[in-house]
Structure 1
Amino acid sequence: MGNSQRKDADSTASPAVKNPDWMSSIPDGKYISELSIPGTHDSLSLYGGPFIQCQSWKLCSQYEAGIRFVDVRCRHFHNSLPIHHGVKYQYYFFDNVLDDTFHFLQQHPKETILMRVKEEYKAANNTEKFYETVFCYIKEVGPTQFWLHHRIPTLGQVRGKIIILQDYSGPTMGIPYESFCIADKYYLPTLFDMAQKWNSVEENLNSAQYGVCNKIYLTFCTGASWGAYPNAVADRINYRLYNYLESKGKKKIRWGIIALDFPGAELVQLIIYSN
């Protein structure tokens, strides 16, 4: 991909188009599961070279572009939560993620952020369980700022809040991630396996289009291996996704959450315009 900015894929530092208030035009009564939501995979993975890096926009820029699902990977280390992608520390902590997110939500109070929280890499030197440390961070901000229930809310119930998508064991602290209909064929041996990847993407998007409205669909358009780096996968899959969505014209279609690496700003807008 190089350092380029296209409609479908962007490896520069700033999105070409911003849409920070798109949820404000959606009725309060709409359930989160009924929406088409642009998202990022491994949202804080900005460092570590081509095999590790998945994004070029910082978190605040992702939100400004219209991203509303983020994938946050925390290592449990000394009862704190540094952000990791595998072994690679991303120079960020979970409290930085929450600070940036609530700063955005204070400026754009009709938006909501769906935040997958997942344990990443090896835990070390902890006296607490992972869920206890997560809740310490939440308690410090104030639990009323979050949606911590297992049921799917309407947009009106969660404007200005973070919806925790709980991808870790312990007491209920959000919507269980395992309850989603997920396509995440993340291992691609080589770039020649792209057709299989796209088939899994298209299949889940079709399921979201026609599936039951009270189920959250999540489609990862991402993948990697030593034979296919994340930017090379994004270069190809984002292009196919852009053309696929554009071919639907101006139809209002529920796609669920679409998680991307190196998204192009206009691809993000295509997902938003489906609502």
Structure 2
Amino acid sequence: MGIARRDLLKWGAGVGGAAALGSGLLLPSTASAAARTTPRGLPTDNWMRYVKDGVPLLNLTIPGTHDSCCENPNYGTEWSHTQNWGITQQLQEGVRFLDIRCNGLQGAPNELGIYHADNYQYIRLQDVLNQCRSFLQGHSGETIVMRLRNERAGGQALGDDEFMRRVNYYFNELGFRGLFHFYGWPTITAARGKIVLLADFTNPWGLIDWSSGENTYMDTQDVWEIGGSDPLAKKGQYIVNQFDRAFLNPNSPKMFVNFLSYAGGFWPKRSSQDLMDHTIYPYLNARTQQRARFGIVPMDFPDFHVNVLQMLIDKNFV
């Protein structure tokens, strides 16, 4: 799916676990009046500020979004619609992991557009990065973890070398290199004010390599299609198992990732609501007094599930 240069300019102008964590986190004495706050009083726009310096990012529970820029079903269908909040509001509400998937753009030989498969979402990578930079400039205690994926879909799919060339264009010519932390899982101190890059594209640079399964850096549950009867119940069990796995391995050197999203023939709104009602909320609600290092937890439509989003933030501060 391509886009003419005139339309590009038009659309692009827009915008053991308890012991391991116990001494690393501080509750605020007062919450910001302007921000939404969690049940434990954390301002959602600034909650990482209350994580003590020196705490490894690996020790945190980090709420996120799946296909973070897919806000409009007109840019695909309801199948490709996964979010109602834009990037800036997601960050204001406490989301700290973004799932950013790119193809090339017709008429823009150096640029990357954000896609869901071959559906262009009418936002460019520089728009996303500018929004992230603006947020971090106003919230210097926060960090953003970003999966940057070569989507490899449709007429704008890019090969490995061309995708890397365009990424370098963003780092160097467009001046975004200094916005990123590139190598190895950092402490919160090293990550503050930066985007921690997870590279879901072929590269020789020694970055933190994404895995949708397991590798040196990550242990990921991202089951999005299951055969047989009652696939949502089965997906719910995968989610619970990954929560338990993360909780029971507090000293693992890998980041646990647990996608709460599911496709598999269901529109995201339906699968998300079913999983939240029958699996995720009951699991978390039964453990509100239990500190947990759950790692990265991406979801669809956090605006429909603010209670779960805030429960995940509060997991860091029990």
Give the TM-score normalised by structure 2: 0.77
What do the CA deviations read for 1:115-156 (whole angstroms, capped 9, x no partner)? 00001113649796201211211222342221011x110000
SS of the residue corresponding to residue 75 of structure 1 reads strand
> What is the match of residue 170 of structure 1?
203
Whole-angstrom distance in 1 between the partners of 2:168 and 2:193: 19
Residues 1:249 and 2:283 aligned together: no
Contact 2:247 2:293 in 1 (8 A): yes
| Distance change in 2, residues 1:236/1:126 (3 Å) | closer
Contact 1:69 1:257 in 2 (8 A): yes
| Distance change in 2, residues 1:123/1:154 (3 Å) | farther
Write the letter of the residue equivalent to 1:215. Answer: K
Contact 1:146 1:162 in 2 (8 A): yes
Of residues 60, 77, 80, the one that matches 2:111 is: 80
Superposition deviation, residue 190 in structure 1: 8.4
Can you give the 5+ residue segments of structure 2 that lack an aligned partner in the other structure?
Answer: 1-34, 38-42, 212-216
Whole-angstrom distance in 1 between the partners of 2:176 and 2:260: 33
Contact 1:24 1:110 in 2 (8 A): yes
SS of the residue corresponding to residue 273 of structure 2 reads helix
Contact 1:79 1:125 in 2 (8 A): no
What do the CA deviations read for 1:44-68 (whole angstroms, capped 9, x no partner)? 0112331110111111110011000
Write the letter of the residue equivalent to 2:198. Answer: L
What do the CA deviations read for 1:140-196 (whole angstroms, capped 9, x no partner)? 2342221011x1100000100001101110122631112310001111468831111
> CA RMSD for the aligned pairs?
2.1
Whole-angstrom distance in 2 between the partners of 1:146 and 1:191: 44
Of residues 129, 133, 137, the one that matches 1:102 is: 133
Write the letter of the residue equivalent to 1:257. Answer: I
Can you give the 5+ residue segments of structure 1 that lack an aligned partner in the other structure?
Answer: 1-14
Which residues of 2 match residues 110-259 of structure 1 at below 5 A?
A: 110-120=141-151, 121-122=153-154, 124=156, 129-139=162-172, 140-149=174-183, 151-172=184-205, 174-178=207-211, 179-188=217-226, 192-211=230-249, 212-225=251-264, 227-239=265-277, 240-259=279-298
Give the TM-score normalised by structure 1: 0.88
SS of the residue corresponding to residue 296 of structure 2 reads strand
Identity of aligned residues (%): 29
Residues 1:44 and 2:69 aligned together: yes
Aligned length: 259
Whole-angstrom distance in 2 between the partners of 1:84 and 1:93: 9
Whole-angstrom distance in 2 between the partners of 1:200 and 1:126: 32
> What is the match of residue 260 of structure 1?
299
Write the letter of the residue equivalent to 1:122. Answer: G
> What is the match of residue 8 of structure 1?
none
> What is the match of residue 19 of structure 1?
44
Residues 34-43 or 167-176, more deviating: 167-176
